A and B are shown apart, each in its own frame.
Chain A
């Protein structure tokens, strides 16, 4: 069974927001909501200031506070590749999972259930890439099996330096940023 994750090359990302639009179109995201977004981080000391542009979304963490806090079992780890999902029919909209995610990756859909990135499971199950990966004009995003040492994502992680977001929060994210 694969363990899906994403590797994002921050050297290539230009923050064009194509991934954001692709996600909105593919997943019919209501107006004013985001399953993925762009973060620009500027840090350093003049004159050596650095800027990183990255596309962010649910990290499909290996240690999932959003799943363990869910009182109904609606938030769950799908058997298919460890993707973290919400069963809309089971969710009561108690918002515990939204509070529990240190990345603030979730929101409450206007229809009343918790919602977030699904890695486009509908596409992935057909062997396709998530919509955001597919449309990226700079090809900065890679999707694949982290447990397979021969996958493109594994190879990139072995050959390049990378970081994850908020490692101290202890969620073991599966979205990696190449630096």
Chain B
């Protein structure tokens, strides 16, 4: 590297697998998990909001179909996380301790809280196929429905745990001071908003209730706009920080990850769907699945890029790698 005509050259004899020439410890499992975790978080917040705001009284409310999908998705995400562990038989060690300073330990316990909240949401109105398998569920459901106060609390719990899950996926990465790209306090807001956006896109896609579908398309436009704003703030923060942070931001803005970032995350994942959905909610064009599908794929690619570029970013200048 030439720095004001100064030469700086580092050579190392270290060659640990997945560490050198650059960190590639976390592979596909982690972005998949972060994406599913974020989307499930958004689904819980949306479903919880529908319950809390009494929308659940509408028979075809999406809050009855969201939680089961969320349960499946978070289980797939947790399985991906399990696959990532190098010492799989010891996974139970996560649950014999609670490490206050470790976001991963928080996450492990938050994941446990999510199941009862989602199951309570499912039990409010189990699907016919569930009742066929376990007829007793209808008694439980009847009991829950006798208590509107309990139902409100199920809504609140879903929103609260959803918020915790969505935020923690970002905190997990941003707590790592070692990786300059991740080390921004806006990452959790970005991941939470992206999670809400992908979840809104999903509900827009599947909602049987036209009003809900329209509402979520509008909400998603809001989430996408906020997400774009957060990106600007995040880059401003990184670019006005120390040199490793500036170099980290440049990885996405102009560096090796820029094409994927600009095309798939910003262009196809946010701006194009925003334009399509703006036209749709203003009744200029019909609602199509294209925009929500693009949003969901964009959210997935965002996690891949952030995880990979974050591992590439370093306190030593990237070109030493």
Binding site for B on A (CB under 8 A): 17, 20, 32-34, 37-46, 49, 56, 65, 68-74, 89-96, 98-102, 104, 106-108, 111-113, 166, 168-170
Contact B18 A46, beta carbon cutoff 8 Å = no
Q: A93-B85, A100-B176 are in contact. Are A17 and B315 (CB under 8 A)?
A: no
Partner of A71, one of B88, B104, B178: B104
Restricting to B281-321, which residues have a CB under 8 Å from any CB of A? 311, 314-316
Contact A46 B178, beta carbon cutoff 8 Å = no
Contact B13 A34, beta carbon cutoff 8 Å = yes
Q: A33-B16, A72-B97, A102-B177 are in contact. Are A92 and B8 (CB under 8 A)?
A: no
Report the minimum CB–CB distance from B36 to chain A (whole Å). 17
Closest chain A residue, CB of each to CB of B172:
A96
Contact A45 B7, beta carbon cutoff 8 Å = yes
- Interface code B139-182, partner A: CB below 8 Å = 1, 0 otherwise? 00000000000000000000000000000000000011111000
Closest chain B residue, CB of each to CB of A91:
B87
* C-alpha gap A113/B94 in the complex (Å): 14
Partner of B15, one of A32, A95, A112: A32
Report the minimum CB–CB distance from A62 to chain B (whole Å). 15
Asked if B93 CB lies within 8 Å of chain A CBs, one says: yes
Restricting to B237-254, which residues have a CB under 8 Å from any CB of A? 242, 244
Partner of B8, one of A42, A74, A111: A42
* C-alpha gap A35/B11 in the complex (Å): 16
Report the minimum CB–CB distance from A34 to chain B (whole Å). 5
Contact B6 A92, beta carbon cutoff 8 Å = no
Q: Given contacts A37-B14, A104-B20, A113-B86, could you give 14 more A-B pairs where the C-beta distance is less than 8 Å? A: A20-B13, A33-B16, A41-B9, A42-B9, A45-B5, A65-B177, A89-B90, A90-B90, A93-B87, A95-B25, A99-B311, A104-B23, A166-B316, A169-B315
Q: A69-B104, A100-B176, A104-B19 are in contact. Are A92 and B315 (CB under 8 A)?
A: no
Closest chain B residue, CB of each to CB of A87:
B93
Partner of A41, one of B10, B88, B97: B10
Contact B97 A38, beta carbon cutoff 8 Å = no
Restricting to B107-165, which residues have a CB under 8 Å from any CB of A? 107-108
Closest chain A residue, CB of each to CB of B103:
A69
Contact A70 B85, beta carbon cutoff 8 Å = no
Contact B12 A101, beta carbon cutoff 8 Å = no
Chain B contact-residue range equals 35 or more
Contact A100 B11, beta carbon cutoff 8 Å = no
**CB within 8 Å: A-B pair count:** 155
Q: A69-B175, A98-B25 are in contact. Are A113 and B87 (CB under 8 A)?
A: yes
Contact B104 A112, beta carbon cutoff 8 Å = no
Closest chain B residue, CB of each to CB of A73:
B97
Asked if B236 CB lies within 8 Å of chain A CBs, one says: no
Partner of A70, one of B7, B18, B99, B175: B99
Write out the residue numbers on chain B whose beta carbons fall within 8 Å of the beta carbon of A91: 87, 90, 93
Q: A71-B108, A94-B84 are in contact. Are A39 and B176 (CB under 8 A)?
A: no
Please give me the 6 A-B residue pairs with the lowest Cβ-Cβ distance, nearest first.
Answer: A93-B86, A37-B14, A112-B87, A93-B87, A102-B178, A71-B105
Report the minimum CB–CB distance from A164 to chain B (whole Å). 13
Asked if B91 CB lies within 8 Å of chain A CBs, one says: yes
- Can you sample 16 A-B contacts with CB below 8 Å? A40-B10, A41-B8, A43-B7, A65-B178, A72-B93, A74-B93, A90-B93, A92-B94, A93-B86, A93-B88, A99-B23, A99-B179, A101-B178, A107-B18, A112-B87, A169-B178
* C-alpha gap A99/B242 in the complex (Å): 20
